[in-house]
Amino acid sequence: MRFLFVGDVVGRAGRAVVQSRLPGLIADWKLDCVILNGENAAGGFGITEQIYQEFLDLGVDAVTLGNHAWDQREALVFIERAPKLIRPINFPEGTPGRGAALVAAKNGGRVLVLNAMGRVFMDPMDDPFAAIEREISACPLRLGADAIIIDMHGEATSEKQALAHLVDGRVSAVIGTHTHAPTADYRVLGNGTAFVSDVGMTGDYDSIIGMEKAEPIMRFVRKIPSSRFEPAGGPATFCGLAFETDDASGLVRRVASVRLGGPLEQARPAFWE
């Protein structure tokens, strides 16, 4: 199967580049499954039901979240009727929504999508390693799902790498999100799992992690907030990870970075061009 994971979509600029780019990529690259991190999609903080539905209408098959999952309070309610919206699996027991979902790919394949949140330099949560172990044991690759994709939302590259090596050969891909800066370490690990420490953001890179620059700079320099953070609205870069799984094993054969538009060096998967 052919997959595209779209990195953290930030604000209106990020949504606009997804709207302009994604339908064409699905057609041109014959994508079977598109997963998108949408936790910053609504004004840079959280997601609304309307935005979630817009992503599905564009061809997104699953939307993952992270530490901003509940910044839009309506998400606490509509997530219960949004089966393809996935919040971190290691939120406390009783949290609304789901941390894993078995979704149907465009070719009919069964894709288990998990979202987990790191604990290093983040709000304290339940153990993400144990939560993921329970889920992939209950729905193992090839028996319960044709592919398993984990969005690991966290600050520490070491924590993301540790998870990837722990599950290498048992899931299709572990994709780091949250820091909004794409890393160059995308690769297929020794036992067949694709990994990248951070896929990067889909948003305006003439910014500070997607926000207009003045307020973050002021807070670093003066240590005093003067206004709220506002998402940057300039030309956005569409950032993602493209990869292809083997139908027999569910593991990854090849992987490539995707960067389209904006100021970053452009990148496309040559094996699909």
Which of these is catalytic: 68, 153, 178, 180?
68
Nearest CA to 32 out of 82, 93, 106 is that of: 106
If you ran DSSP here, which 8-state letter would residue 81 be given? G
If you ran DSSP here, which 8-state letter would residue 42 be given? T
Q: Which amino acid is at 246?
A: D
Q: Are 6 and 22 in contact (CB under 8 A)?
A: yes
Q: Are 17 and 205 in contact (CB under 8 A)?
A: no
Q: What is the torsion angle, in degrees rounded to the nearest 10, for the CA atoms of residue 87, residue 6, residue 200 and residue 167? A: 60
Taking each helix axis from N to C end, the angle separating 11-28 and 49-57, rounded to the nearest 10 degrees, works out to: 20
Which residue reads 């094996």 in tokens? 271
Residue 124: which residues within 8 A CB-CB, separation 6 or more? none
To the query of whether residue 68 is one of the catalytic residues in this protein, the response is: yes
Residue 134: which residues within 8 A CB-CB, separation 6 or more? none
Alpha helices in the chain (DSSP H): 11-28, 49-57, 75-78, 128-138, 157-167, 214-222
Cα 51 to chain centroid distance, Å, stands at 15
Known catalytic residues are 68
